[in-house]
Amino acid sequence: MTVDSDQILELGVDPEEAKDLLPRINACLNAQTPPACWQKLTQEVLTPAHPFVLHQFLYREIYKNWDANQGPPPAWLPSEKQIQQSNIGRLCKSLNLHTYEELHNWSVQHRSEFWNLLIQQLHIPFQNPYTQLVDLSQGPEFPNWLVHAKLNIAESCFNAAPDAIAIVSQQEDGPLITWTYQALERLTHQVANSLQDMGIIPGDAVAIAMPMTPESVAIYLGIVKAGCAVVGIADSFSAPEIATRLQIAKAKAVFTQDVVVRSGKRLPLYNRMVEAEAPIAVVLSADRSPLPDLRPGDLTWSAFLSDRNTFDAVPCDPSDPTNILFSSGTTGEPKAIPWSHTTPIRAAVDGHLHQNIQPGDVVAWPTNLGWMMGPWLIYAPLVNHATMALFDGAPTGRPFGQFVRDAGVTMLGLVPSLVRVWRASNCMEGLDWQTIQVFSSTGECSDPDDMLFLMALANYKPIIEYCGGTEIGGSYITGTVVQPSSPSTFTTPALGLDFVLLDEGGKQTDNGEVFLLPPSFGLSLELLNKNHHEVYFEGTPEGPSSIPLRRHGDQIERMGGGTYRARGRVDDTMNLGGIKISSTELEETLNAIPGIDETAAIAVSEPNGGLSRLVIYTVTEQPESPESLKPGFQEAISQNLNPLFRVYDVVVVDTLPRTASNKVMRRVLRDQYQKNNLQLAP
């Protein structure tokens, strides 16, 4: 296999550079296998400076005859040295296991031994040790973890050397600032003492409605050290959304800021707390500007903060709540999901094994404390003696990329739609991201071309696709750095956990709904405002050995080579003309059309029921009319999916509505469309 100069020149490569590139490219194409060709090409020839269309062309050319039974073609392969130096590699060696598959099988067949070992390896401190990892006398739906133990999981975040860097942070247009573990712990203790001075007692709920900053991390850990539960509220929520969450969680106080600064704009935040009739608020200044007049009883940060910087963590039962988080709320009132003191251990173990976080690593993940990745970002780095990298600003532009470079980020997590923005704007061009060793992606289904683009930004590093949920505290399906990485592809159930895929008849399938095999460490055991059994267990089929399966609601497709691909939520599945298809499959096809930024596919029916009609909401690069877009959408669906699927309507919008975790709210679009189109034409 060879490529010629015309092919390279058509991709926009400079003619002089093409003369140099062509022989080097063709030399790499002589490798024995397509993966070896690609690996040699990415290690010796291609760089982030080359046009991405060149990367894309060569990837497709090399793998054009790839056997799909092997799964999607890999864009990164681990070396033997990388495997041996990984946390998984070391764990396999200590257990005398020779393959990753052996390790995963052992982790689910010997769950108590697995979690015992990881708790020891991460040096989780206990004020009173547990006598048994799990008591299953009430059945697998009601496990009792860490029997007789007393602990406070916040203590696990301060096992690193006091002078090690815990946080590197930056505000928009501000300098890079570092916090040591010692400095973070001192502020954490000041917060815990101050909470007691306010009359907050163990078991109370205290909300945080702030961006991810060093102060919000210290506030979070101070609340947990005081034996209380954090109520996570995204700084983007409206006043009614804030009020709903505060009321469900019965929060006694809230920490917030006067404003949120994004792209130079000062967006009010404290005013939303007032409108939401929040309880007593402690208000910080986002940029040291004078605070507005506060409500009677509300406190400035300086008035709140005690100068006492030592504090003995309140001992807690393993099942006591540390955090109250909420589902996205796209199907009605959000589920209030408590994290216990065991849930952060799952998050830290996932980070240790799947994202391969090691001491000294620098971990960035644009997020906030209203989404589970906020607390995940606290526990996964700090418990593993690594550094959190926090950028207080919009992650959509070049300043964030410069922060990633300047902070020396080694593990960069994100939501896939961020990559789509970077790719469309080319805002990361020319940045040196050589420190990055691992990417991770979560929050929504990713696009393979976008993920290949992301890998190319850092000279091809693996992407750990990471899919789970707030009620899991981590993932149920993900990837590793010891397995090949293919764009938008999962390679394994999470270690210590397993699942089955079932069709509507309850039979195992290769493309179906996910059901988890309980018990699994750290997963939710209660909901504050709904019946946990009804939500996750009622009506589910039995699994192996008559174990009651736990409902999750995702649709996953098992492909060749032991790989998987996400197909969206089961409740986003449509029935079009008697044929079922997920919104994700339709959107993947339509998003590939030139000029289309993103789409959301929904199914709507006439008020009295009847056939579902396919409606496409879309954001376009240039102004387009629905009439001009509809034929192209129909052609793409007919050619790539099924000619029986008919596009009923196209709606062009400036943006798609999203949750705080950046998931598209298809329910909102469906309700909006049906409100505006009460009687659908035949």
Domain boundary among the residues 111, 130, 147 is at 147
Same structural domain, 436 and 455: yes
47 class by beta-carbon count within 10 Å (0-12 exposed, 13-18 middle, 19+ buried): exposed
Q: Which residue has the higher pLDDT, 12 or 92?
A: 92
Pair 475, 490: CB distance under 8 Å: no
Strand-strand pairing, 251-257 and 280-284: parallel
Q: Is the pLDDT of residue 331 over 60?
A: no
CA angle 408, 409, 410 (to 5 degrees): 110
Pair 211, 256: CB distance under 8 Å: no
Cα 234 off chain centre by: 15
Same structural domain, 122 and 158: no
How large is the average pLDDT for residues 148-173?
A: 97
pLDDT at 332 (0 to 100)? 56
pLDDT per residue as tens digits for the range 632-648: 999 999 888 877 788 99
Same structural domain, 126 and 42: no
Sign of CA dihedral 179, 182, 185, 190: negative
How large is the average pLDDT for residues 9-16?
A: 88
State the residue range of the domain holding 627: 577-676
Residues, the chain, total? 682
Residue 570 is assigned to a structural domain of this protein: no
Same structural domain, 182 and 97: no
How large is the average pLDDT for residues 512-525?
A: 96
Q: What is the CATH number of the domain that holds 643?
A: 3.30.300.30
pLDDT at 582 (0 to 100)? 78
Residue 431 is assigned to a structural domain of this protein: yes
| Number of helices and strands in the chain (H, E) | 22, 30
How large is the average pLDDT for residues 70-83?
A: 96
pLDDT per residue as tens digits for the range 301-318: 999 999 999 999 999 999
**Whole-angstrom Cα distance, residue 74 to residue 195?**
51
Q: Is the pLDDT of residue 417 over 70?
A: yes
Range of 16-20, 237-241, 438-442, 677-681 with top mean pLDDT:
438-442
Residue 245 is assigned to a structural domain of this protein: yes
Backbone angles phi, psi at 386, to 5 degrees: -110, -170
pLDDT at 472 (0 to 100)? 95
Q: Is the pLDDT of residue 116 over 90?
A: yes
**Whole-angstrom Cα distance, residue 300 to residue 292?**
10
Q: How confident is the model at residue 680 (pLDDT cuts 50, 70, 90)?
A: very low
Same structural domain, 432 and 511: yes
Q: What is the CATH number of the domain that holds 367?
A: 3.40.50.12780
pTM of the predicted model as reported, rounded to 2 decimal places:
0.89
Round the average pLDDT of the chain to a whole number and report it. 92
Q: How many CA atoms lie within 13 A of 323 on its CB side?
A: 33
Indicate the number of domains in the chain: 4
Q: Is the peptide bond before 519 cis (omega within 30 degrees of 0)?
A: yes
Domain boundary among the residues 546, 569, 604 is at 546
| Lowest-confidence segment of 96-105, 248-257, 500-509, 577-586 by average pLDDT | 577-586
Cα 497 off chain centre by: 18
Q: How confident is the model at residue 677 (pLDDT cuts 50, 70, 90)?
A: confident
**Whole-angstrom Cα distance, residue 616 to residue 647?**
7
| Residue at token pair 């973890």 | 145
**Whole-angstrom Cα distance, residue 144 to residue 124?**
18
pLDDT per residue as tens digits for the range 381-402: 999 999 999 999 999 999 999 9
- Residue 228: closest CA among 256, 192, 257: 192
How large is the average pLDDT for residues 488-517?
A: 94
Query: What is the DSSP secondary structure assignment for residue 128, as one 8-state letter?
Result: B
How large is the average pLDDT for residues 325-343?
A: 81
State percent of the chain over pLDDT 90: 77
Sign of CA dihedral 342, 347, 349, 350: positive
Strand-strand pairing, 321-326 and 165-171: unpaired
Domain boundary among the residues 114, 147, 180 is at 147
Pair 245, 239: CB distance under 8 Å: no
pLDDT per residue as tens digits for the range 253-295: 999 999 998 878 888 999 999 999 999 999 999 988 899 999 9
Pair 500, 545: CB distance under 8 Å: no
Same structural domain, 34 and 96: no
Same structural domain, 191 and 308: yes
- Residue 55: closest CA among 330, 608, 457: 457
Residue 557 is assigned to a structural domain of this protein: no
Indicate the SS3 state at residue 576: strand
**Whole-angstrom Cα distance, residue 206 to residue 231?**
6
State percent of the chain over pLDDT 70: 97
**Whole-angstrom Cα distance, residue 170 to residue 213?**
9
How large is the average pLDDT for residues 449-453?
A: 95
Same structural domain, 460 and 527: yes
Q: Is the pLDDT of residue 150 over 80?
A: yes
Amino acid at 20: D
CA angle 227, 233, 237 (to 5 degrees): 170
Same structural domain, 497 and 532: yes
Sign of CA dihedral 272, 273, 274, 278: positive
Q: Is the pLDDT of residue 670 over 90?
A: no
Q: How confident is the model at residue 681 (pLDDT cuts 50, 70, 90)?
A: very low
Pair 235, 260: CB distance under 8 Å: yes
Cα 84 off chain centre by: 27
Same structural domain, 60 and 87: no
Residue 682 is assigned to a structural domain of this protein: no
Pair 71, 560: CB distance under 8 Å: yes
Helix H, strand E, coil C: the string for 267-278 is: EECHHHHHHCCC
Same structural domain, 137 and 271: no
pLDDT at 607 (0 to 100)? 57
Residue 554 is assigned to a structural domain of this protein: no
Same structural domain, 592 and 536: no
Longest dimension (CA), the chain: 75
How large is the average pLDDT for residues 320-340?
A: 83
Pair 452, 59: CB distance under 8 Å: yes
Q: Residues near 613 by Cβ (< 8 Å), separated by ≥ 6? A: 603, 604, 605, 648, 649, 680
Pair 647, 682: CB distance under 8 Å: no
pLDDT per residue as tens digits for the range 576-625: 766 767 788 899 889 999 999 999 999 887 655 556 789 999 999 998 99
Q: Which residue has the higher pLDDT, 674 or 580?
A: 674
pLDDT per residue as tens digits for the range 242-257: 999 999 999 999 999 9
Q: Residues near 671 by Cβ (< 8 Å), separated by ≥ 6? A: none
| Lowest-confidence segment of 18-22, 159-163, 225-229, 659-663 by average pLDDT | 659-663
Residue 567 is assigned to a structural domain of this protein: no
pLDDT at 328 (0 to 100)? 59
Residue 594 is assigned to a structural domain of this protein: yes
